[in-house]
Structure 1
Amino acid sequence: MADTGTAFDIVVLGGGSGGYAAALRAAELGKTVALVEADKVGGTCLHRGCIPTKALLHAAEVADTAREGEAFGVHTHLERIDMNGVNKYKDGVIGRLYKGLQGLIKARKIEVVEGWGKLTGPNTVQVGDRTLTGEHIVLGTGSYARSLPGLEIGGRVMTSDQALTLDFVPKSAIILGGGVIGSEFASVWKSFGADVTIIEALPHLVPNEDEALSKAFERAFRKRGINFNLGVRFSGVTQDDNGVHVTLEDGKTFDADLLLVAVGRGPSTSGLGYEEQGLTLDRGFVITDERLHTGVGNIYAVGDIVPGLQLAHRGFAQGIFVAEEIAGLNPPAIVESGIPRVTYSEPEIASVGLTEAGAVATHGAENVETLEYNLGGNGKSQILATQGFVKLVRQKDGPVVGVHMIGARVGELIGEGQLIVNWEAYPEDVAALVHAHPTQNEALGEAFLALAGKPLHAHN
């Protein structure tokens, strides 16, 4: 029998994006909720991921603007990067968002239980000497920064967790991993004045994106002076007072002040009682059905511990979904391919839906049509002095299945792309919509005009 005050409609284990979204929505629906968190509610995204990295990226954009002002007739001088000032700004953003989140949780009468929780039964979570009983359990224990076998983190070898707290700009840095995290840090450090080299084992940077975007991204990084070595695996690293010394399997060596290990994130599921309670795990990830149910009792899982895209907004969506599922609202299942993806570097990459290769694999090459619209034809992009393009992927004579963009600030455009893909719009549907001029959003409209066979500022 649970102690007085420890029985809830829902116990959420983990206060990150997926967990707190489930808690907030469930409380809104009249459920009693306990939210278990060992650190701070908000999780990796708010405290060690999305928010702090994007704050650094904005500071980097300000530095670039100051450095390049003369091109716009504004004569400026970039004196130095004050990392204490940058970190104060970054931490201020985090602090305000954290305070707001705490206020929401308090207003919705969610009980936050601080401490490490462990699943001890189909309806119970143990936190210290307290047993919480929930009619439903939601697991959202998040992820951690991975390393590689034999590669120890410490000293000059660090993950994004340590890189976010640096109080100096490294003179030089090697980044192991050319995905989203590695590319974003490369962009920041280059803007701050560091010499940066990315090591990526796969043939392209941002390898999960459409190949056309990856190639354009590489050209942009090369133009910025960001070095990268592709297609060869990391072998080893040593460090001393002078820096780090990295070796690849082909014998190449690289030296720098520090090594950032950005090889992805692993699910935080070890030692939490999941397997003991009969949950199915694959490489540490919790396996669920499309309704995010684990197959055990009334236990659901959300966020980074569920195989798929490790994105905060996916966690938010899954948390809301599970709360509504528990409340009997029968929400529509989340379609993974309909979730937008953004790399917040300079230039930015934004995409949703299938890549060209993914569309060909799904529908066959003869049933896929693509179009690229160069941002050179877009007035606002010319004003911003950015280069890039919009790439559309559609089923032949059918709906649009992918929208992919590269260029400054294109992440702000992906909302329309998401609607187009998820609503299975036809090019003719979008071409009929009027887009404001001059905006970068207009580039999407122009791309669809071209795909519908009536280009304006583009060749047919």
Structure 2
Amino acid sequence: MDFDYDLFVIGGGSGGVRAARLTALGGKKVGLAEESRMGGTCVIRGCVPKKLMVYASEYPEAIEQARNYGWGAEKGSFDWDTFKGHLNKELDRLEGAYEGNAEKAGVDIFKQRGKVADAHTVELADGTRKTAKHILIAVGGRPARPEMDGAEHGIVSNDLFNLPKLPGKMLIVGAGYIGCEFAGIFNGLGVDVEMFIRKAQILRGFDDEARGHVADCMQARGVTFHTGCAPIAIEKRGDKVWVKGSNGHEEEYDTLLWATGRKPNTDGLGLEEVGVKLNRRGAIEVDDYGQTAVPSIYALGDVIGKVELTPVAIREAVAFHETVFKGNKTKMDYDLIPSATFTQPELATCGLTEEQAEEAGPTNVYATAFRPMQSAFAGGDERVLFKMLTERDTDKIVGIHIVGPAAAEMMQFVAVAMKMGATKADFDRTCAIHPSMAEELVTLKDPVRVLA
């Protein structure tokens, strides 16, 4: 059977575009449909604009430090409109780069929604149908909004980059990495930020000591926590949103942000109708090679709900291309994936948490906390945390957690060593770079805890 395309990709985010480009550069005919903007969540509504907002929010502290170092620096006021203008220009540039690079590789781009009509056919929003030997679903996810009366009065993370003005007072419901990152951002920009946290602690799933350290620092910086609290009533009162929490706290806010998780974008794609299986969360079920229950249909990225990180989606795309178009069956390696949460302070991690390591077997725990030189000189009290977990029998490093400035930059290279199977002894025989924060990783002495 002759097909219009060798590959048709639904979704123009990082994973979808990478798969499309690689396949087109390999001489295959490739089509791609994207209903929104090229670049997807990470580039347009997530990682990139968020990180730029993190940078913007860190300048007040940097200016205060500069004064303590002898500079005649004054903070002045933050101009939200100026920042938004620069931000939108940068996102336009990045979107153009994504689209231009795909087109240069030979990808046909359709700027409309696509859905699966059958195992080899994609139907576009205008009714046009395109056939393909292989179909790749890479549509990502979207912020979830709770089902309760008044939920419509809150916004989600997608809306934050286009706020008409900075709120004076903001409530963030949810304490995962998105909620915590934006709490730090808006607190740094001068907004009065409160958080409703359903459990007793933020950042569920992260190392307990590390997330506790982040929580203490966030509160010291001025973010107000309401733990064991969820909204039970919401009303719109003029231009304010009134919220009552399950702990009895009630207040009016300029902005209510829902940071209560994300869900896969599988609604209305026609997947189950053609035999693609979804799990209870609506994520697409795939095998080790990204193949769905329909042999010609594959999926990758956030829509499969495995590890929802942009670099993971890109590597899944490479594995897909190797498997399907180069005849080299390649599984995605999900072991020891480093990650960073751009809270303030920053948290970076690779490997097991202390709680996971304790369950896995006898573990040595090394940790240190101290005031870094740069901020200590300027009178800062905030401490950084370095933590290492090793298998007691083999000395192999199974987990590292860093809280502090440039944690992600350090973790990227630590992860290389861990991927190579580094031991604590390997770190010990490496000379330190002095003076630096990172030298703590090679100067840790005795364990602070020994887990049976």
Please indicate, yes or no, whether the TM-score normalized by the shorter chain is above 0.5: yes
Deviations along 1:175-226, one digit per CA (max 9) or x if unpaired, are 0011111111111111111111011112211122100011101110111011
Secondary structure of the corresponding residue to residue 274 of structure 2: coil
1:388 aligns with 2:384: yes
1:79 aligns with 2:87: no
Aligned-partner Cα distance in 2 for 1:310–1:254: 34
Query: Which residue pairs with 1:144 in the alignment?
Result: 142
Aligned-partner Cα distance in 1 for 2:20–2:429: 41
Query: Which residue pairs with 1:344 in the alignment?
Result: 342
Q: What is the CA distance between 1:375 and its match in structure 2?
A: 4.4
Query: Which residue pairs with 2:257 in the alignment?
Result: 260
Aligned-partner Cα distance in 2 for 1:46–1:105: 15
Query: Which residue pairs with 2:437 in the alignment?
Result: 440
The 3 A distance-change label for structure 1 pair 452 and 256 is closer
Answer whether contact 1:16 1:140 (CA < 8 A) is retained.
yes
1:37 to 11, 34, 56: 34
Answer whether contact 2:25 2:106 (CA < 8 A) is retained.
no
Aligned-partner Cα distance in 2 for 1:204–1:278: 41
* Seq. identity, %: 26
1:240 aligns with 2:240: no
1:217 aligns with 2:214: yes
Deviations along 1:135-168, one digit per CA (max 9) or x if unpaired, are 111111111110111255545x211111211132
Q: What is the number of equivalent residue pairs in this alignment?
A: 443
Query: Which residue pairs with 2:367 in the alignment?
Result: 372
Aligned-partner Cα distance in 2 for 1:27–1:55: 32
1:328 to 326, 329, 342: 326
2:169 to 153, 172, 185: 172
The 3 A distance-change label for structure 1 pair 353 and 249 is same
Q: What is the CA distance between 1:133 and its match in structure 2?
A: 1.7
Aligned partner of 1:325: which letter? T
Secondary structure of the corresponding residue to residue 235 of structure 1: strand
Aligned partner of 2:393: which letter? D
Query: Which residue pairs with 1:309 in the alignment?
Result: 307
- Structure 2: gaps (5+ residues): none
- Structure 1: gaps (5+ residues): 454-460
Deviations along 1:390-439, one digit per CA (max 9) or x if unpaired, are 11122212221111110122111111232233222211123333453334
1:100 aligns with 2:113: no
Aligned-partner Cα distance in 1 for 2:11–2:142: 13
Q: What is the CA distance between 1:387 and its match in structure 2?
A: 2.2
Query: Which residue pairs with 2:10 in the alignment?
Result: 13
The 3 A distance-change label for structure 1 pair 223 and 427 is same
Aligned-partner Cα distance in 1 for 2:431–2:10: 46
Answer whether contact 1:302 1:315 (CA < 8 A) is retained.
yes
Answer whether contact 1:380 1:440 (CA < 8 A) is retained.
no
Query: Which residue pairs with 1:134 in the alignment?
Result: 132
Answer whether contact 1:381 1:440 (CA < 8 A) is retained.
no
Answer whether contact 1:25 1:324 (CA < 8 A) is retained.
no
Aligned-partner Cα distance in 1 for 2:148–2:447: 53
1:295 aligns with 2:290: no
1:430 to 408, 427, 430: 427
Aligned partner of 2:302: which letter? D
Query: Which residue pairs with 1:458 in the alignment?
Result: none
Q: What is the CA distance between 1:379 and its match in structure 2?
A: 5.2
1:281 aligns with 2:281: no
Aligned partner of 1:374: which letter? A
The 3 A distance-change label for structure 1 pair 45 and 329 is same
Deviations along 1:50-108, one digit per CA (max 9) or x if unpaired, are 11111111111123322443222223222211001111222222122222222211221
Aligned-partner Cα distance in 2 for 1:452–1:230: 32
Aligned-partner Cα distance in 2 for 1:324–1:408: 37
The 3 A distance-change label for structure 1 pair 330 and 84 is same
Answer whether contact 2:320 2:330 (CA < 8 A) is retained.
no
Deviations along 1:222-260, one digit per CA (max 9) or x if unpaired, are 110110112233322112115122122233323321111
Aligned partner of 1:149: which letter? E
2:25 to 23, 28, 39: 28
Aligned partner of 1:316: which letter? I
Aligned-partner Cα distance in 2 for 1:331–1:196: 49
Secondary structure of the corresponding residue to residue 281 of structure 1: coil
Secondary structure of the corresponding residue to residue 164 of structure 1: helix
Aligned-partner Cα distance in 2 for 1:327–1:394: 40
Aligned-partner Cα distance in 1 for 2:286–2:249: 43
Query: Which residue pairs with 1:158 in the alignment?
Result: 155
Q: What is the CA distance between 1:120 and its match in structure 2?
A: 1.3
Secondary structure of the corresponding residue to residue 137 of structure 1: strand
1:53 aligns with 2:77: no
Answer whether contact 1:123 1:135 (CA < 8 A) is retained.
yes
Aligned-partner Cα distance in 1 for 2:51–2:262: 18
Answer whether contact 1:232 1:248 (CA < 8 A) is retained.
yes
RMSD: 2.2
The 3 A distance-change label for structure 1 pair 139 and 335 is same
Answer whether contact 1:381 1:387 (CA < 8 A) is retained.
no
The 3 A distance-change label for structure 1 pair 25 and 416 is same
Secondary structure of the corresponding residue to residue 173 of structure 1: strand
Aligned partner of 1:387: which letter? R
Q: What is the CA distance between 1:371 and its match in structure 2?
A: 0.9
Answer whether contact 1:375 1:443 (CA < 8 A) is retained.
no
Deviations along 1:31-56, one digit per CA (max 9) or x if unpaired, are 32111111111011111111111111
Query: Which residue pairs with 2:111 in the alignment?
Result: 114
